[in-house]
Amino acid sequence: MNVVSTLRDARSALLPWREAGETVALVPTMGALHQGHLALIVAAQKLAKHTVASLFVNPIQFAPHEDFDKYPRQLDRDKQMLSEAGCSLLYAPSPEEIYPSGFATSIDPGPMATILEGVFRPGFFVGVATVVIKFLMQLMPDIALFGEKDYQQLLIIRHIVRDLNVPVHIVGVPTVRDPDGLALSSRNSYLLPDDRHRACALPRTLTESVQMIQQGKNIENVLSVGRNKLISAGFSVDYLTLADAMTLKTSSSARIARSTIGGGASWKYALNR
């Protein structure tokens, strides 16, 4: 695997593939890789001849009180994992390479970035959108893959790519979980053993809530019970909401939810933290 840290070197590495008409898939990451990231690399390899991973802890998507400084960084281990997984190129730029002095442009993804997670992390999706569009413009992959774990992020990126006619195909990859149901996440390393144990209440509550709604139970009651279960497990709940899987519009109407499920559209619990 070729490892580069500048745009110039990344483009040089991509050029022969482009000239040969070979397809390129991009997997953007912030590093501290785990099997969830590797599932994206594996999916990428099935869809394109060459897989490129980017590794960049994006400062502009962190609020001042968030964990930018302590976000786990383990470049050597990440390189090893990507190489073993068959990744062709790792692009790991410095902050100056991505945001040179005078950088002033940002991508505002619109209303979808101001609901759900966007309410609790203002500016987060602007930071994500700006860096993702920047990587897409820099590397011009044919395909870019994103995890369904960050479902709102996946939909927002699809939306921007459609709105701006960015010539890339966006692919979502199902969430990889530990055997007890907890989604793999680089930030799980922050959890002490006791917290890690309690964290299983999150996927369990989501699954149970979905089952109850599918059985026709009152949505507001189900959500209220779900919030209480999470609080009892030690969570501080920002929101537990039923949202349309395509638009993220929320609904508390059992009639709409049932008819939508019956109509075959997919609904999803967006929970969070």
Footprint on this chain of ligand AMP (rule: CB under 6 A):
29-30, 36-37, 39-40, 146-147, 149-150, 173, 175-176, 183-186
Provide the minimum distance between the beta carbon of 224 and ligand AMP in the complex, in angstroms, as a whole number.
28
The residues carrying an active-site annotation are: 37
Residue 37 or 229 having the CB closest to ligand AMP: 37
Q: In 160-187, which positions are buried (b, 16+ CB within 10 angstroms) versus exposed (e)?
A: bbeeeebebebbbbebbebeeebbbbbe
CA 219 to chain centre: 27
Looking at beta carbons only, is 22 or 150 nearer to ligand AMP? 150
Which residues lie closer than 8 Å to 61 by C-beta, 6 or more apart?
123, 124, 127, 128, 131
- Cβ nearer to ligand AMP, comparing 36 with 226: 36
What is the closest distance, in whole angstroms, from the C-beta atom of residue 269 to ligand AMP in the complex?
Answer: 16
Q: What would the two tokens of residue 17 be?
A: 């593939």
Contact assessment for residue 10 and residue 139, using Cβ atoms and an 8 Å cutoff: yes
Give the amino acid at 101.
Answer: S
Least distance in Å: CB of 31 to ligand AMP?
A: 6
Q: How far is Cα 271 from Cα 273, in angstroms, rounded to an integer?
A: 7
Least separation, in Å, of the C-beta of 70 and ligand AMP? 15
Q: Are 132 and 106 in contact (CB under 8 A)?
A: no
> 8 or 77: whose CB is closer to ligand AMP?
77
Neighbours of 243 (CB within 10 A): 21
